[in-house]
Structure 1
Amino acid sequence: MATLVLDNGAYTAKIGYNHEKVSVIPNCQFRSKTSRLKTFTANQLDEIKDPSGLFYILPFQKGYLVNWDVQRKVWDHLFGKEMFKVEFADTSIVITEPYFNFTSIQESMNEILFEEYQFQSALRINAGSLSAHHYFHMNPSQLCCLVVDSGFSFTHIAPYCRSRKMNEGISRINVGGKLLTNHLKEIISYRQLHVMDETHVINQVKEDVCYVSQEFYKDMEIAQLKGEENTVMRDYVLPDFSSIKKGFCKPREEMVFTGKYKTGEQILRLANERFAVPEMLFHPSDIGIQEMGIPEAIVHSIQSMPEEMQPHFYQNIVLTGGNTLFPGFRERLEADLRSLSPSHLPVSVLLPTNPICYSWEGGKLLSHNPDYDEMVVTREDYEENGHFICEEKFDI
């Protein structure tokens, strides 16, 4: 029987059969300024000639799946002929859900998977649990690990002991990639150019030029210098979607510090925004969000665990999710944790080579596990016992 692994994130869906490679596909629909009436789904984004002013229709709001119509259309597209050609009657699915998901959302998901698509069997699990499974598989001698998953809507911190999640230690910070992009849009719109409708373009700017500062105040001082002394400043060439299809950062040696560029390129000049935006992950209070930053939340989470386990958590911190890809993220987190944690305990933070697909890879490993058949709910089980059997089996 084929097993399909779907890490159903709020921004991208990571999907693939357990014997193949993963595909990362936008988990939403789009409408473009030029063709308002046509809706594009998932990876049809590539067909849009002019993605400026792109309007996103997202199935997730604040990290929870609320728009089932959009989610169904995305799934229809993913499971359909163009993509994975799923034979539902012979396929088992591993699908992710957020921590502390609402019962109503879980029941809707059970119904859609079993009654509409009619999968042979299903396993609904947290993405962090798959990441932990991946980590323990690679490090069999370790007993504990702490998964830090910083995604589109939230950042979750979840301790695991021997693949079991410790619910009392799970923390959530309401800061994710969406908030960072929106904040960057506001800063640029206020200082330079109105870009509030350009989510797609500014998200790309964020990924291309932002980084996590190791010494925030020192970088702030550099960002205030004039001319070539300002080593933080970068010029970003915005796409016009005819000759420039994708925005890019001008090489430092080509930057003009006095006067204008001769070419007709549209330029964004970025200085302290480059590190002030990702800084929100470490100090949300900078923009008035009354919450802990990631380092404090990790310490808080570890301190809620039994004392003899705490050293193990500090040594096995695993980073997943798109925000961990900012240059300097891992080093800064390790340095901040070092100053907050007890001095006699070693601190070790691991950034996998592909933190976005780390939990999907964990799902792939789990589906090859000899106990996999014990974990899933089959369609017969579901038809006989309804939601009750899913509740009983999936809260692992």
Structure 2
Amino acid sequence: MFVSDCYNVNEKGHLTISGCDTVELAEKYGTALYVMSEDEIRSVCRRYKSSFERHYNGNGTALYASKAFCCKEICRIVTEEGLDLDVVSGGELYTALAAGVDAKHIHFHGNNKTMQELCYALESGVGDIVVDNLNELHRIEKLSAEKGVVTSISMRIKPGIDAHTHEFIRTGQIDSKFGFALENGEAFEAVKEAVACENVELIGLHCHIGSQIFDKAPFVLAAQVMLKFYNKIHTELGKTLTHLNLGGGFGVKYKEADAAVPYEDYMSDVSEAVHAACKEYGIQVPYIYIEPGRSIVCEAGLTLYTVGDIKTIPNVRTYVAIDGGMYENPRYALYQSDYTCLIANKVNEPADFTATIAGKCCESGDLIQENTLIQKPEVGDILAVLSTGAYNYSMASNYNRNTRPPVVMVRGGESRVIIKGETYEDLVRNDV
């Protein structure tokens, strides 16, 4: 039934997360409500950190890909656990800096960074800007010359690997809006231009082959391809880089049956490939970065709703309406994402009722799950949707002028608000 160890059932038959009764959380904070387990988040961060110690003798770091879920508190938590931070916009950068993150430990990605964002990154002293295209490279060179600084950069490379995932979240193949392609020589020519720049210092390479990947083989292949290119730069251009970022995309559990590979297994297999390739080329093992985002926060989060109208269409389906929907979780409407749903106040009862979970937005496609098995619902029950810690709050909107729900962090049976829920006043704050 459960996708993570942070979930349990108490003596009342209620779902708990990190020792907190979800029904009581719904009563205290209202619904819709995002809930995150700090215990689970810290545990996953420590597993990644431990893997770097074991497989790279500490010569590497995980970056938290903050696009998965970004707020000041999550930035504080992951950096306290020794992770660097990956940002992809000026807003994410601002959030990280506002949380007190040292800019030297921030890596700035993105395929179309604006001049304003680049200026902000340079002025803030961001440790590494990952360059996506030649126009961006020359903008950074120009801005750096004007400011009299030398800016450290990496270059995003498309290694040409199809990770066998959803086409909307596949980013390593040549037909992608991200980065420089290896197959056609584009990447090598771009590296030559970067090396020739006077106010830019190329220090590393970056790749990312996709998201929600359950197979270790694509990650191993990506490491081999990237190290071959890393060595080519060294041998043909005489340029020694210092780090290699192998991206993220590790699969997580949305359903109990999802065959998620333990993170340590990814780390072990990729590490073997890295060390073997470096030995073959006679080069020092670079400092290794990876970019987990979803795998750090997804299973640590759930969303709570109150069941409203229940509408049965004979011989068709039963709609179970909730006080949320696509405005705070658009992922099913976008790409039919699977989720585990259950009635939080009836967890011990059989999940034998087939329901389509419908949101409150004025859209026929506003659904959270279709034909999913839950406990028999009644008006007023609390519905929990598991594994909503990633890309739910991040992708939420005010569609239909709905307000974004609050986010509550739980730890050891205690709860606290880390993002306030919006009010109607917030909705009109910027109206003129």
Q: TM-score, normalised by structure 1?
A: 0.28
Bigger share in strand: 2
Tell me the TM-score normalized by structure 2: 0.27
